[in-house]
């Protein structure tokens, strides 16, 4: 009995020591895991503007140089006016990059370079009228618009599935269409889901996103982030950062309610006076070049939102394929290419890649 007791005591002692060791190792692992920083990787995207020509490696090298890990490829459909229900798309009269074949070639070329894709089919209304005002005047025309838009978006959902793109945007700034026909949108999202298994978003205008009725059916809350942040002709980083505070609070609260991250489906500032006052303005009458205003507003955006957990990342508006021929210090438009702000973007994207 003494021998048995001795061995039993030894066995229990070994079990005790093993258990303590396991708990100690487990505690150590938890402690080490808790001390690890959260991943800083974000969607660092560019809006890769469609062109007349095919994309080659020389067009993609500048995208790699700025440390972008995503590109928005944007085929287009065209509508004659705000009350016309017919969308013309994928025609021989369009630029190559605006068609299905061109978008597919862009996707293949970018994918070969390790750049992920948001396929973002967009509607353009002739004369540049705002798509948010697209609104039919009869039930007959609403039904025609629904069928025309369905044909358009399903065409590119099929391309997204074929090319295995990472993200698909179901529409851009179509507020009145959504307000008046919410049942159509919910139905077409289900149809897209049956075709394409990747992530979905919608690009709501900055003052529209709270009224979109179908966020629960998508993966990201997409926002075209042209929030007014500064009134000054040449705002400082501090002024623009303070201007972002209220918008960040709203976005965070909305993200919490919907339990989805915010994605800036477009963001950017022009290199003009008052760049932060009405950032959505694209009229060419605003042509007083102000590179400092673009620098400050861009840096303030990065400082204000990029590290937030509710924020998934964004797509810079906009990036042309012929890098050496666009932008520059005399250019007053959105593109950052060949301007001082390009270095700000390069540094920032590198830190969040």
CA distances from 14 to 9, 90, 186 (A): 9, 74, 62
289 exposure class (CB count in 10 Å sphere: 0-12, 13-18, 19+): middle
Amino acid 333: pLDDT = 97
Instruction: Let me know: does 109 contact 55? Beta carbons within 8 Å.
Output: yes
Amino acid 45: pLDDT = 98
Amino acid 284: pLDDT = 84
Give mean pLDDT, residues 145-153: 98
What the block records as the tokens of 191 is: 């149809």
Report the distance separating Cα 224 and Cα 244, nearest Å. 14
Average pLDDT over the chain reads 90
Instruction: Verify cis geometry, omega within 30 degrees of 0, for the bond prior to 3.
Output: no
Amino acid 17: pLDDT = 34
Instruction: Let me know: does 17 contact 61? Beta carbons within 8 Å.
Output: no
Confidence tier at 36 by pLDDT (50, 70, 90)? very low
Amino acid 40: pLDDT = 77
Asked if residue 252 has pLDDT above 90, the reply is: yes
Asked if residue 7 has pLDDT above 70, the reply is: no
Give mean pLDDT, residues 223-234: 98
Amino acid 127: pLDDT = 85
Amino acid 112: pLDDT = 98
Specify the long-range contacts of residues 57-63, CB closer than 8 Å, at least 24 apart: 57/109, 57/113, 59/109, 59/321, 59/322, 59/323, 60/109, 60/110, 60/113, 60/115, 62/323, 62/337, 63/110, 63/113, 63/115, 63/319
Instruction: Let me know: does 334 contact 284? Beta carbons within 8 Å.
Output: no
What the block records as the tokens of 60 is: 């993609």
Instruction: Let me know: does 306 contact 35? Beta carbons within 8 Å.
Output: no
Q: Tell me 97's DSSP state.
A: G
Q: SS3 for 188? A: helix
Give mean pLDDT, residues 112-118: 98
The sign of the torsion formed by the CA atoms of 308, 335, 69, 299 equals negative
Amino acid 283: pLDDT = 87
Amino acid 66: pLDDT = 98
CA distances from 350 to 41, 146, 244, 312 (A): 10, 42, 23, 16
Nearest-10 Cα torsion for 141, 143, 146, 152: -80
Instruction: Let me know: does 176 contact 149? Beta carbons within 8 Å.
Output: no
Q: Residue 311 forms beta bridges with which residues?
A: 262
Write the pLDDT tens digit of every residue in 161-191.
Answer: 999 999 999 999 999 999 999 999 999 999 9
């Amino acid at each position: 009995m003494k021998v048995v007791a001795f061995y039993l005591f030894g066995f229990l002692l070994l079990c005790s020591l093993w258990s303590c060791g396991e708990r100690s190792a487990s505690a150590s692992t938890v402690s080490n895991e808790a001390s690890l920083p959260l991943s800083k990787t974000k969607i660092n995207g560019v809006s890769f503007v469609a062109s007349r020509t095919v994309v080659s490696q020389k067009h993609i090298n500048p995208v790699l140089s700025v440390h972008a890990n995503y590109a928005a490829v944007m085929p287009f459909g065209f509508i004659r006016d705000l009350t016309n229900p017919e969308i013309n798309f994928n025609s021989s009269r369009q630029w190559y990059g605006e068609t299905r074949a061109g978008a597919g070639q862009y996707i293949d070329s970018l994918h070969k370079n390790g750049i992920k894709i948001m396929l973002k089919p967009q509607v353009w209304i002739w004369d540049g009228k705002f798509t948010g005002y697209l609104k039919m005047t009869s039930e007959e025309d609403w039904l025609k618009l629904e069928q025309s838009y369905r044909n358009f978006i399903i065409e590119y959902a099929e391309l997204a599935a074929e090319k295995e793109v990472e993200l698909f945007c179901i529409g851009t700034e179509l507020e009145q269409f959504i307000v008046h026909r919410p049942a159509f949108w919910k139905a077409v999202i289900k149809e897209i889901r049956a075709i394409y298994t990747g992530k979905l978003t919608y690009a709501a205008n900055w003052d529209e996103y709270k009224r979109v009725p179908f966020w629960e059916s998508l993966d990201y809350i997409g926002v075209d982030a042209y929030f007014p942040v500064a009134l000054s002709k040449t705002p400082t980083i501090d002024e623009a950062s303070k201007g972002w505070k209220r918008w960040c609070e709203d976005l965070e609260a909305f993200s919490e309610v919907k339990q989805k991250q915010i994605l800036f489906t477009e963001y950017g500032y022009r290199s003009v006076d008052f760049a932060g006052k009405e950032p959505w303005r694209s009229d060419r009458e605003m042509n007083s070049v102000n590179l400092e205003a673009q620098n400050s507003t861009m840096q303030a955006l990065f400082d204000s939102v990029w590290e937030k957990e509710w924020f998934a990342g964004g797509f810079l508006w906009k990036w042309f394929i012929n890098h050496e021929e666009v932008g520059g210090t005399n250019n007053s438009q959105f593109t950052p290419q060949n301007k001082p702000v390009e270095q700000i973007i390069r540094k920032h994207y590198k830190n969040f890649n």
